[in-house]
Amino acid sequence: MSCSEGRRRLLRNGLALGLAVVLAGCGFQPLYGRHDTDTATSAYLAQVRVAPIANRTGQMLYNKLRDRLNPGGKPAEPRYVLEITVEEQGEDLLLEPNNTTSRTLLSLIAHYQLRDIESGATTLKGQSRASISYDILSSQYATIVSEQDVRDRATKELSDDISTRLALFFSKGQTASESPAPAP
């Protein structure tokens, strides 16, 4: 190894160490990493009961949210209830010359609110949206399977988004007595 290669390696290692120190000093914490508030956030999420959601798409979202929020099963004494309504919209994206649809966009919009069970106060309100398109195929069976797959992926996106928003809400230390900061 030449002297200049050794200097470059030393400089690179020094820069990496400096960057790590700067990131640690600014309060950077990975969202999905382990840190002190992770246990508290998980404990709050485990106290959320997901209320049943109407229709088949709602049932799919309900199951995915329960898996994310309550991996140990339904909470025995929940502190919060998560109420959700789901709107489903379909939009034709591509039309063939004979005016038949060849591609459709499925949009799911979930309106949710987190309520404190004891006080009845709404602590968090929001909306999540997932839009995925799929092809209308010549085989009716293939089109149905494609639509079911898109609906499954869209409900997973909604579940991920809602559970992440709840985790952020709880990680900031907000509880039923505090209200979320207004959106800018």
**Sequence spans of domains, the chain:** 51-175
Domain made up of 51-175: CATH architecture: 2-Layer Sandwich (3.30)
Cβ contacts of 81 within 8 Å, gap of 6 or more: 48, 49, 50, 51, 114, 115, 117
pLDDT for res 72? 81
Structure tokens at 82: 């998560």
CA dist 139 and 66 (Å) reads 34
Q: Does residue 124 have a pLDDT over 70?
A: yes
Does the pTM surpass 0.75? The reply is no
pLDDT for res 114? 95
Between 30 and 72, whose confidence is greater? 72
pLDDT for res 58? 93
Q: Is the dihedral of CA 177, 168, 64, 59 positive or negative?
A: positive
pLDDT for res 174? 58
CA dist 74 and 71 (Å) reads 8
pLDDT for res 9? 81
pLDDT for res 25? 56
> With bands split at pLDDT 50, 70 and 90, how would you rate the model's confidence at 180?
very low
User: SS3 of 38, please?
Assistant: helix
The tally of CA atoms less than 13 A away on the side-chain side of residue 13 is: 6
